[in-house]
Amino acid sequence: MISSLPLMRSRGRGQQQQQQQQQHNPNYRDYSHGLVPATVFHCHHFQQQQQQRYLTSSSSSSSSSTTTTTRRTTTTHLDKKDFDYCVDLVQQRDRESYLCGLLLPYEARRAYFAVRAWNVEVASIKDNVSVGRKVGGGAQFADETNNLALKVRMQWWKEALSHIYDGSNSVNHNNNIIHDDDDVVVVSLRTNMAASYRKNPIVRVLEYNVHDKRLTRRFLERLLEAREADLDVKQPTTVQDMIDYADDIFSSLLYLSLEMVNVRDEHADRIAQHAGIGIGLVTALRGARIRLARGECVIPQELLLRLSSSSSSYQFPHDKLYNLDENLCCVDLTPNERQLLQDAIEHIAGLAYVHLSQAQQLQTELQLPKQARPCFLPVVPALHYLSKLEQAKYDIFDDTLLQQDHLTILFLLTRTWWTGVF
C-alpha cells in the first residue's frame, strides 16, 4: 500500500517556462509546485484554474497592478508583538511543535510559527464545543446550533486566507458598482470583514510570511477543507478516511515547512507524505480519550466491525465507549470488549509505524537536502508516543500515556537535530 501512494507535486516540471512568464508579468506567482497527491483533490482542475488566473492577471489593467503593489506594501513590516503572540500560542497549545520550531533555521521560524499558530486556531474550532452533546432533550437542537457556529468561524478563516492571497480585491471589488441600499450594505460588510482580518495578529503574521516565503496557497486551503469536513464527523467510516485526513493536514504542514527552508524537492515530498500520515495517525490516537468524552470516536467503524466479526458473533458496542467516569476511563467494557478495543488501537498504531518507518527508510536512501532535515523533527515525538503506547499494551485508558515528558522529547529532538537522522 505504501508504494502505491501517488505524489504529483512535480516542482521541476516546466520550471524554465515559469521563469519566463514571471519575467514578463510582475503579478505572476508560481503555484505549480503546490500539487499534492491526486487522491486528495483534482490536481488537473486546480492547474486549469491557476492557468486561467495567470492569463487574467497578465491582461489586467495598470490599476490592478497598482492595487496589488499597495497590498503587498502593507505586508513588508512585521510587528514583533504579533510574532510573539503566535509563538506564545503554539507554546501553550502545541508544545511539541513549539520545541520543533526552536530547532529550525532562524530564517524559517517566523513562517513556521505563523503557520502553526494558524493551524492551532483552526483546530481549536471543533475542540471548543461543549462535551455534553448527547445529554438532554434539546441535544439535537444544541448540536445543530453548535455546528452552525463552528461553520461560521471556519468560514471566517477561509475568507481571511482569501484576503491574504487576493488582498483588497477579494473584499472591495464591488465598490464601484453600487446601485441601491442593499449594495451599500454588502460593501460595508465586506469592508468591516477586511478590517477584522487586519486586526487579527495571526492573519497579519501569516500574510507577511506567505509573501515572504511564497507559501503555496493550496496547502493551506487543503488543511482548512479537511478541518471543515471534520466538523460533521464523529467517527471515521473507514481506515482510508483516517489516512486521508492525516495526509490532508499533517502532510500539508510538512510541505509548508519544506517551503520555509526553500526546499522544493520531490524526494523530500515523498518523505513528507509518509511522515505526515504517520504523525496524523499518532495524533488521532493521542486524542482518542478526550474525543470519547466529547462524544466522538477516532477508531473507524470498519475496523471495529471487522475485528468484532472475526473474534465474536456480536457487533462491538460503540455506546459503551462514551460512558466515561470522572477520570475519563471507560468502566462498562467487558474484558473481551476491552481486548477488541486494544486490538483496534494496535492496528492503527502499526499502520502509523509503517508510514514513519517508510519515511525513515527514504531518508537514508534518498539524498535529502541538509536544510530539509529539521522539518521532519515532528516525527520524533510521534515515534516516542508509539513506544509509550506499546509499553501500555495499546490501552488508551492507561494513565501513563497522559504523563508529560517534555524533557525527554526535548532531548530526543536535540539528538535528532544534531545527527540529522530521525
pLDDT of residue 148: 83
Among 178, 213, 232, the domain-final residue is 232
* Higher local confidence (pLDDT), 334 or 380: 380
131 and 1 fall within a common domain:
no
Q: What is the CATH number of the domain that holds 315?
A: 1.10.600.10
* Grid coordinates given for 327: 477520570
pLDDT digits (tens, 9 = 90+) for 48-63: 444 443 333 333 333 3
SS (H, E, C) 324-350: ECCCCCECCCCHHHHHHHHHHHHHHHH
Among 216, 232, 248, the domain-final residue is 232
pLDDT digits (tens, 9 = 90+) for 9-59: 544 333 434 444 444 444 333 433 333 333 333 334 434 444 443 333 333
Percent pLDDT > 70 in the chain is 68
Q: How many domains does the chain have?
A: 3
Structural domain contains residue 228 = yes
294 and 420 fall within a common domain:
yes
Structural domain contains residue 284 = yes
Among 181, 208, 232, the domain-final residue is 232
Structural domain contains residue 326 = yes
227 and 310 fall within a common domain:
no
The parent domain of residue 2 ranges over 1-59
pLDDT digits (tens, 9 = 90+) for 151-186: 889 999 999 999 999 875 544 444 444 444 444 444
96 and 177 fall within a common domain:
yes
245 and 345 fall within a common domain:
yes
pLDDT of residue 179: 45
Q: What is the pTM of this model?
A: 0.76
pLDDT digits (tens, 9 = 90+) for 189-212: 555 666 678 789 999 999 999 999
Structural domain contains residue 66 = no
pLDDT level of residue 133 (50, 70, 90 thresholds):
very low
129 and 263 fall within a common domain:
no
241 and 205 fall within a common domain:
no
Distance, in Å, from the CA atom of 108 to the CA atom of 1, rounded to the nearest integer, reads 33
294 and 344 fall within a common domain:
yes
pLDDT of residue 33: 35
215 and 257 fall within a common domain:
no
Structural domain contains residue 65 = no
318 and 405 fall within a common domain:
yes
Structural domain contains residue 70 = no
Does residue 350 carry a pLDDT above 90?
A: yes
240 and 224 fall within a common domain:
no
Structural domain contains residue 74 = no
222 and 247 fall within a common domain:
no
Structural domain contains residue 181 = yes
